Amino acid sequence: MDKISSSYFIARGTNKASSLFKRVRFMPLYSFPHHAEHSTKYEKNKNRFFIHLDIDAFFAQVEQRDNPKLRGKPVSVGGNGGMKGICMTASYEARACGVEIGMSVVEALQLCPDLISVPSYGTKYEAILQNIMYHIAKYVPDELIEQYSIDECFLEITGVVKDWFSAIKLAWEIKKMIWNIEHLTSSIGLSYNKSYAKVATKFDKPNGLAVIREENKDIVYKLPVDKLWGIGRRNTIRMNSLGIHTIGDLANSNIHTVHKEFGINGIMFRKIARGEDTSGIQLKKERLEKSFNHAHTLTDAIYTDSAINNEIKRMVEYVCRRMRAKNFIATQLGFFIRYDDLGSVGDSVKLKPPTNDERDLMFYCREIYKTFPPPTPSRKARQFGITTFDLHQVTGYNLDLFKKFQNLPYKEIDFLKEKWGERIIRVGLDAQ
Amino acid sequence: MTYYQNITFEKIEVIAHFKELDINIIRFRWKNTVYNVDKIANKWKIASGEDLTTHFSVICEKEGIIAELCFHHKDFKWELIQWDNL
């Protein structure tokens, strides 16, 4: 036996590890440094150290590591391993052929006929990631780690190291640790602010370590402007029209010009380009929910009444359980269906009284569904979506004299589901 | 080329060495063929409610297969989830 790794426990829905689990599953969608969190006192933020860690082609690398047959070959992960779906990630061999992340598998196969498309194995990647994060937390306190995406994180090591030498040493140790525990290569960018750390990661990919200090920030200035964090395709076109082609051009641009074109974001972009990003580690903030929604695209489209009922039931159960877990009731319900010709219909209704009872929601969903053109063998339903909004937080319930259903012990039902798994108990919604 | 895994979810017999919390698979029998495990490439655990499973990615070089085995802690049963030729 060569190496055992990833023997890290993923708990689903148990209280003990739920906070850790959230770190992986519910990542900040967009943690671009917001202007409100920027301190204008840049001088105070000069002597900081940030690490940006990116595991190279994470999913593809894991599959290549576990299956010798895939090593050295162009591999993409995503879809169902068939022609459907998109490339969630691609190995460097596939990227050399022009395969990009987000591309459909069909498109990728046209570019790279030898491409091996493997299905994604989410739980395995989560286990590996949690194992890595658990070990990183031994080097850096948990509150100084920002999980930016499934395979990327920022670490602020200002309080952990005293100079650049020890910062580089720590970065190497983290890289080495990831290799030792998981046999995965990673790229690290080290800099005095978050944005430059992210840019630095791309300098020496894969399996590299790049450092950008204030003294050598000229190397960043030579890069095209789209390499800067937050500047995408559309912003690049607008920047180019202003004569800004490199990060250096942006850094030396007139502040009024960029402000006029991009508003407050223009000032932000210019600050980031100049290396004056003063944002720190952003932790996930508890936010008040405004809506609960769930949409599901089926691999095989359906049209029979029973199959559609089952799909609605599954979604209603899921959304209601989430609402009950946070003590919310909804006043409005939205429901939509997308057909396999990509046409869609949707509608919303007011719930009377506001509820989080899955029987009520099932009833209203069925009522909305009756107004839709029914799916047929030639026009099947492919995607279903449900949204509850206009939410109110409740602490207790008033019994309703005229309610058509008896109250069910949902608290106990949810507890059983959490303890024994989803299928242990279900409300008989079909019987109505 | 599109890659299809052979997904089976079949019950199998396994000889494994349990030492403290560690499980070391030695060989397994599937469809009356014995496969000697040369290497455990990866191991991870998944919990759903109180049901805990440990997954192993194993390589049998002589038989020329790579397989994912799953051990159910609740009822001590083994399962072959998927396999592929090396």
Instruction: Check residue A104 and report its DSSP letter.
Output: B
Q: Roughly how many angstroms between the first and final C-alpha of chain A, as a whole number?
A: 56
**Which of B39, B48, B86 lies closest to A12 in CB terms?**
B48
**Which of A7-11, A42-46, A212-216, A305-309 is the least confident region?**
A7-11
Scanning every residue of chain B, which has its alpha carbon at the shortest distance from the alpha carbon of A4?
B42
Q: Is the peptide bond before A28 cis (omega within 30 degrees of 0)?
A: no
Confidence of residue A332 (pLDDT cuts 50, 70, 90): very high
- pTM of the prediction? 0.69
In this prediction, residue A429 carries a pLDDT of: 64
pLDDT higher than threshold 80 for residue A215: yes
- B24 contact residues in A (CB cutoff 8 A): 1
pLDDT higher than threshold 60 for residue A30: no
pLDDT higher than threshold 80 for residue A187: yes
In this prediction, residue A42 carries a pLDDT of: 56
pLDDT higher than threshold 90 for residue A174: yes
Question: How distant is the alpha carbon of residue A315 from its chain centre?
Answer: 21
**Which of A16-25, A267-276, A394-403 is the least confident region?**
A16-25
Indicate whether this complex's ipTM tops 0.85: no
Query: Which comes out higher in pLDDT, residue A52 or A18?
Result: A52
What's the one-letter identity of residue A74? P
In this prediction, residue A3 carries a pLDDT of: 38
Q: Average pLDDT for residues B6-13, to the nearest whole number?
A: 82
Q: Average pLDDT for residues A402-415, to the nearest whole number?
A: 75
pLDDT higher than threshold 50 for residue A19: no
Round the average pLDDT of chain A to a whole number and report it: 81
What Å distances lie between residue A62 and A34, A84, A126, A149, A208, CA to CA?
Answer: 34, 21, 11, 17, 18
pLDDT higher than threshold 70 for residue A94: yes
pLDDT higher than threshold 80 for residue B19: yes
* pLDDT, tens digit (0-9, with 9 covering 90-100), for A271-327: 888 888 877 777 665 567 788 888 888 878 888 888 898 888 888 888 988 888 888
Torsion of Cα atoms, A10 then A15 then A16 then A21, to 10°: 40
Confidence of residue A55 (pLDDT cuts 50, 70, 90): very high
CA distance to partner chain A, nearest, from residue B40 (Å): 6
CB-based contact A145:A281 (threshold 8 Å): yes
* pLDDT, tens digit (0-9, with 9 covering 90-100), for B33-62: 999 999 888 888 887 667 788 889 898 988
- B55 contact residues in A (CB cutoff 8 A): 124
Q: What is the DSSP annotation of A119-168? A: ---HHHHHHHHHHHHHHHTTTS-GGGEEEEETTEEEEE-TTT-SSHHHHH
A152-156: strand order across its sheet:
A145-149, A152-156, A50-55, A186-191, A209-212
CA distance to partner chain B, nearest, from residue A128 (Å): 8
Question: What residues form DSSP beta bridges with B85?
Answer: B65
In this prediction, residue A44 carries a pLDDT of: 57
pLDDT higher than threshold 60 for residue A244: yes
Confidence of residue A15 (pLDDT cuts 50, 70, 90): very low
Phi, psi of A156 (to 5 degrees): -100, 120
Those residues whose C-beta lies under 8 Å from the C-beta of residue A231, and which sit 6 or more positions away, are A225, A239, A269
Contact B2 A4 (CB under 8 A): no
Tokens of A205: 């990919």
In this prediction, residue B21 carries a pLDDT of: 75
- B39 contact residues in A (CB cutoff 8 A): 1-2
Contact A421 B85 (CB under 8 A): no
Strands (E), A270-343: 291-302, 328-339
In this prediction, residue B17 carries a pLDDT of: 92
Confidence of residue A26 (pLDDT cuts 50, 70, 90): very low
Q: Does residue A427 sit at the B interface (CB-CB below 8 Å)?
A: no
Question: How distant is the alpha carbon of residue B43 from its chain centre?
Answer: 9
Contact A9 B47 (CB under 8 A): yes
- Whole-angstrom Cα distance, residue A306 to residue A357? 21
Query: Which comes out higher in pLDDT, residue A259 or A12?
Result: A259
Those residues whose C-beta lies under 8 Å from the C-beta of residue A418, and which sit 6 or more positions away, are A13, A14, B49
Question: What percentage of chain A exceeds 90 in pLDDT?
Answer: 15
